[in-house]
C-alpha cells in the first residue's frame, strides 16, 4: 500500500465530511434555531475535519492517521449517542425525514453519508498507520 495515495484518500474523505458538515451548517435552520449548542458543536467539528484533512495531506504519518481514526470513532460515537438520547428528531438512517423549513435531505441524507464516510476512514487509517514509517 502506498502511504501517499492513502493519505490523499483519507484527506479527501475528511474534506468531504467537512463539506457535508458545512452543508448542514448552512441549510439546517431547525438545528440553528432549536439546538444552538449542537449548531456550535457542528461548526467546531467542521473546522476539525478540515484541519485533519489538511494535516493528512501535508504530513502523512502514524500520528496523523491515528488522529484521523480516533476522530472518526469519536464522531461516530457522539452521533450515535446523540440519536439515542431521542431528545429531538431522529435523522439517522432516515434520509427522507424532512422537518419544515429545511430542504429535502437536510440533515438526514447528509448525516448518513457522513457516517458512512467516517466508517471508511477508520480501516483506511488503520492500514496506512500500519505501513507508515514516519511517526
Task: Provide mean pLDDT across the span 3-30.
Answer: 91
Q: Where are the domains of the chain?
A: 3-131
Q: What is residue 95's predicted lDDT score, i.e. its pLDDT?
A: 62
Give me the chain's average pLDDT, please: 85
Sign, Cα dihedral of 111, 113, 117, 119: positive
User: How many helices, marked H, and strands, marked E, lie in the chain?
Assistant: 5, 0
Task: Provide mean pLDDT across the span 81-96.
Answer: 63
Name the least confident of 51-55, 86-90, 127-131: 86-90
Task: Provide mean pLDDT across the span 10-28.
Answer: 94
* pTM, 2 dp: 0.87
Answer with the residue of higher pLDDT: 35 or 26: 26
| CB-based contact 105:98 (threshold 8 Å) | yes
| Class of residue 58 by CB neighbours under 10 A (exposed 0-12, middle 13-18, buried 19+) | exposed
Answer with the residue of higher pLDDT: 82 or 69: 69
Give the three cell numbers for residue 126.
488503520
DSSP strand E in the chain: where?
A: none
d(CA 101, CA 45): 23
Q: What is residue 84's predicted lDDT score, i.e. its pLDDT?
A: 67
Residues with Cβ within 8 Å of 17's Cβ and at least 6 positions away in sequence, in order, are 49, 114, 117, 118, 121
User: 10-41: buried (b, 16+ CB within 10 Å) or exposed (e) per residue?
Assistant: bbebbbbbbebbbbbbebbebbbeebeebbee
Q: Select from 106, 101, 108, 102 the least CA-distant residue to 83.
A: 108
Amino acid at each position: 500500500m502506498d502511504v501517499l495515495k492513502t493519505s490523499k484518500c483519507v484527506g479527501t474523505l475528511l474534506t468531504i465530511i467537512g463539506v457535508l458538515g458545512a452543508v448542514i451548517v448552512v441549510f439546517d435552520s431547525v438545528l440553528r434555531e432549536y439546538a444552538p449548542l449542537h449548531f456550535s458543536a457542528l461548526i467546531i467539528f467542521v473546522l476539525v475535519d478540515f484541519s485533519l484533512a489538511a494535516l493528512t495531506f501535508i504530513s502523512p504519518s502514524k500520528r496523523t492517521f491515528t488522529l484521523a481514526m480516533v476522530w472518526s470513532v469519536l464522531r461516530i460515537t457522539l452521533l450515535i449517542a446523540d440519536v439515542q438520547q431521542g431528545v429531538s428528531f431522529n435523522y439517522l438512517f432516515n434520509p427522507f425525514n424532512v422537518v419544515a423549513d429545511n430542504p429535502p435531505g437536510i440533515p438526514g441524507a447528509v448525516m448518513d453519508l457522513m457516517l458512512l464516510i467516517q466508517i471508511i476512514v477508520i480501516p483506511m487509517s488503520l492500514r496506512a498507520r500500519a505501513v507508515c514509517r514516519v511517526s
